[in-house]
A and B are shown apart, each in its own frame.
Chain A
Amino acid sequence: MPPYARIPALAALTLGLLAGLGSRPAASAPAPSPSAPPSPRPAFHADRTYDAVAVPVRLRIPALHVDSPVQTLGLRADGTIAVPSRTDVAGWYDQGPRPGQPGPAVILGHVDSTTGPGIFIGLAAVRPGTTVRIDRSDGTYAAFRITHISRVPKVEFPTDVVYAPTLDPTLRLVTCGGSFDRSRGSYRDNVIAFADPA
């Protein structure tokens, strides 16, 4: 219908309806309809279970040659996040979402040890588009694709952006970066890789 004809047509039709209201015809040949009541009344049972996503057990990032079991991590007494006990193993923050369920799952890995590279030594240089696969305890897996990398001072760590709950099934990989503060024995920055479902 050409645009110039639309509004006049609608107005004319409306006036027609107002004039003829009450003589609206029924459908000439009704399609199969649920209007015929069967009997007896069926029972309804609401679901009381849902598909809970299993916990992660292995992290694979082929582009970084990462293939590691996954530890579980909680909080330290001071409220900071615990870190993996080994520098060659990744750790999943188990107070947050599991990878692949709604929400941001967070996996940590060391960038180095005191003598050599850690599991996430290459994370800061990873290309957007890199695939990350998480194997889960029930044999399933979740695949993600890194969208962007950020480096941020630890004193300005964006807790909200990394951990705060949404229902988007995302993944964040976190390690250290920037310069090393010898006096504190700590890197000054964190590197965060943000990933969406592949």
Chain B
Amino acid sequence: MWKHGKGQLWRVLPLLCTGLLFLTPVQPRVQVAHAALAPADLAIRFEALLGQHSVLAADLMRSRIRGDDDFVQAANTALGRNTKDMAALVGQLFGTGTADKFSPLWSEHIVELVAYAGALAARDDKAKGDALHELTEYEVELGDFFAGASHGRLSPAAARQAVVAHVGHLTGQADAYAAGDYATADDLYRMGYQHTYDLGLTLAEALLPAADAATLREPLWRLRSQLGKLLAEHAVLVEDLTRAAVTNTPDFAASGDMINGNTRDLAAAMDTLFGPAAARQFQSLWADHVEQLVAYAQGNKDSARTAMAGIERKLGTFLSGATGERIATGRLTAALQQHDTMLMRHADAYAGKDYATAHDVAYQTYQEMFDLARTMADAFGASVAARLPRGGAQTGYGGMATVVAARPQTGFDGMATVVASSPRPGR
């Protein structure tokens, strides 16, 4: 980058900002210390941090494209905090040696992403090409690093493909954002979040010992991870929408479509857990929740605050009921109140151009929603488990007992190798 950046300070901004990652102390308010957690717990937190990285990087790139330098600074600080948190988890999960190699590689791909956004802002095709060239190099290096750390469980090609997709989502959303195509930009924003979140599972499965990796595939751990992805994304997207609402910017409609996509996904998840009727009831309440947060950001603060209090109580009651009161209504209502309070604080800080506070609040809100999702996943899982069928199925009467008994013997290990036989008509 140096050779192309002489005399143009904006070009070194990404490096300057990322340099701060190494010198700026992490704000101490929200600590991420999970030393006592099991590997699977650390792994799903790693997934969440990866997802958060994707949206923070996209936000940083967008602010760079807008030329909103104050927001760039705050977004960069948040991204640095995310990188530090991630490096700490990498150290706990995969060892300090791996973490030591991971941190600079990861930080450097952020540098080039911001350089790419800067080139878009300046409409400098040469700088954009240079950034892409650097990104391509880092894709190979990062992919090879992950593949090497997996000791053969993740092929270099697969690892590179995952990194290429991650970079592609971020550069693609930046391209679309710079062109004013906010619908495409936001589609890629969501895809990038989901892909990068899931990349955490891919990496954890490849790098963790086999027993820990298998734990991550157990239904409860999958549900914790998946609900965490949806609810943490909700926090991110509602913040994006309220920022657009505060400033009444042209990306408002696309941002609204984005949060609606998340709301539909959450409703579909509730359908899976509790059926369509419950899903419809949930979605109606959740829609009210999002609409009132937007109303608040647009200036209707008193009426929105009053409406939100009622929604929190109704949602708390609904969700507590869904868990069979495994989580008390009061506890859930309080958690939802906290969630709304944080989102209102975020909107206020953003409206006041206090971007540091806005990012600080957003960071904490993301983590709190992930933690709430884990609590709810456990309670939802237990609630559903209580009504699952007991024992096996009586699906045979013995008329073909000789043939059936001669079928290949396979154990319940998921690794059965079934010998082909001549299929016969089922009836």
Are B287 and A48 neighbours in the complex by a CB distance under 8 Å? yes
Is B250 in the interface zone, CB < 8 Å from A? yes
8 Å CB contact of A149 from B389, B393, B404, B418: B418
Asked if residues B219 and A165 are in contact (CB atoms below 8 Å), the reply is: yes
A47→B264 contact, CB < 8 A: yes
A103 to B67, CA, bound (A): 44
The secondary-structure label for the interface of chain B is: helix
A101-B271 contact, Cβ under 8 Å, with A28-B122, A127-B420: yes
* Any A CB within 8 A of the CB of B284: yes
Within 8 A of B (CB), among A142-198: 148-161, 163-168, 174-180, 182, 185-187, 189-192, 194
B425 touches A50 (CB 8 A): no
In the complex, are the beta carbons of A10 and B22 less than 8 A apart? Answer: yes
Nearest A residue to B273 by beta-carbon distance? Answer: A165
- A-B pair count, CB < 8 Å, reads 364
Contacts of B220 in A (CB 8 A): 164
Q: Decide: A16 near B223, CB < 8 A? Known: A46-B288, A52-B276, A117-B427.
A: no
Please indicate the chain B residues that have their CB under 8 angstroms from the CB of A194 in the complex: 414
Q: Does B272 contact A (CB under 8 A)?
A: yes
In the bound complex, CA of A93 to CA of B390 (Å): 13
Interface extent on B, as a size class? 35 or more
Question: How many Å from the CB of B235 to the closest CB on chain A?
Answer: 15
Contact across chains for A83 and B247 when beta carbons are under 8 A apart:
no
Please, how many angstroms separate the alpha-carbon atoms of A88 and B384 in the complex?
30
Shortest CB distance A186–B (Å): 6
Known contacts A102-B269, A109-B426, A150-B411; A180 and B398 CB within 8 A of each other: yes
B15 engages A163 (CB within 8 Å): no
Shortest CB–CB separation between residue B17 and chain A, in angstroms? Answer: 8
User: Is there an interface contact between A125 and B404, defined as CB atoms closer than 8 Å?
Assistant: no
With both beta carbons as reference points, the residue of chain A lying nearest to B138 in the complex is identified as A1
> Residue A140 at the B interface, CB < 8 A?
no
Given A49-B283, A176-B396; 6 other pairs, CB 8 A cutoff: A13-B15, A34-B250, A75-B387, A108-B393, A149-B416, A164-B388
- 6 nearest A-B residue pairs (beta carbon): A14-B19, A154-B392, A176-B396, A46-B287, A88-B427, A34-B249
22 A–B contact pairs at CB < 8 A? A1-B108, A17-B19, A27-B122, A30-B121, A34-B244, A34-B251, A38-B250, A39-B248, A50-B263, A50-B264, A52-B279, A64-B423, A111-B396, A114-B398, A115-B399, A124-B410, A148-B415, A159-B390, A164-B385, A165-B223, A167-B269, A192-B412
